[in-house]
Amino acid sequence: MFERQKRLKKKGGLKVLSFDKQLFFISLILTAFGVIAVADASSVQSMSLFSDPYYFAKQQIMWSLLGIVGLFFAAGVHFLFWKKISYLVFFLSIVLLFAVLIPGVGSRILGARRWIYIGPLGFQPSEFTKLGLAFAFARIMSSKNYKKWVPLAVLGAVGSLIMLQPDFGTMLVLVLVGVSQLFVGGYPFFYLVGVGLFGALSSALLIFFSDYRRERLMTFLSSSADPLGSSYHIRQILIAFGSGGLFGVGLGQSRQKQLFLPEAATDSVFAVIAEEMGFFVAALIVIFLSYFVIRLYKISMRCEDTFGLLLGVGISSWIGGQMFLNLASMLALTPLTGIPLPFFSYGGSSLIMILFSVGILLNISKYGGK
């Protein structure tokens, strides 16, 4: 207690503490484990496509380093600075969501427009939008006299643009971000119930009028149907989990990553981990990720500045929501959504934005009181 009090200083009305070292080191550990997981899960596909078993791993290392640089940068910027430019960041994210839909600007891959390429480098605007939405909602909800319809209009506009790509999984994450900030920000309960009912109805309509999403739902309800077609992916995931047993088949010994399991290094990377390392290690990873998310929420809820609290909750819900949706779909508790597992799935856009956002939480942990 006395040691902690000695570290407190006054700066701009907020106490200055040392940043949360646990969160910092957990983030670095998860990033390192993620690189190892990608290197292992992607080796066969990398060799098949590029004649280099470490092609994807090298890229993941590069993105990890860029993400860590972003983490240090964000950790050094006072979180109230983001309040000043929050609407600008959100506007930029909306511009990028429009841009990705323009032929010649956005790239169509597997029937969806989710990527913008600048030379060999590509990024997903939707990953930037998750942070942009968290900024916008934190700014709106921390205002004294905001109009109740404004956050709903913002969420509806962003969700509509995401669904034009289309990307149902990302839309679910964005809804979790927005609703969590509304709830913590004291949004009227009656309106929240209305938002929930509208969201449920909208989701049902989106599934009903989309052959692709309807097929995924039917596959979830009856995973034994069409084993070589619509249910192939989830069946390969479950085979990986079953093969791993309690102790796994051994690091690097996965059979499912031998081009049987779709998206082995991205959405399905946890299935490869469970197959090779077994139930106990997989469970430890889930516990570790869960503790990480709980840590994010604790830091957020300790912040006595309304904007910082709401921003932290939005970021925490984004990362926690992605973790839950990915793991739930891997265990066949929900339909497959195509959501990456934070830190472990191959991909630069998600990893860089998550590490940058963790840096913001580290700064909030430093300037967390009045």
Over the stretch 132-174, which tens digit does the pLDDT of each residue have?
999 999 999 988 788 888 888 898 889 888 888 878 888 889 9
Phi, psi of 119 (to 5 degrees): 65, -130
Q: Domain residues for 220?
A: 2-366
Query: For the segment 177-222, what is each residue's pLDDT rounded down to a tens digit?
Result: 999 999 998 888 877 887 777 777 877 776 776 666 667 666 666 6
Non-local CB neighbours of 352 within 8 Å, separated by 6+ positions? 63, 66, 67, 70, 127
9-11/121-123 β-pairing: unpaired
pLDDT < 70 regions, the chain: 1-17, 110-111, 206, 209-214, 216-230, 368-370
Burial class (CB within 10 angstroms; exposed 0-12, middle 13-18, buried 19+) of 204: exposed
Count of the separate structural domains present in the chain: 1
pTM of the model: 0.90
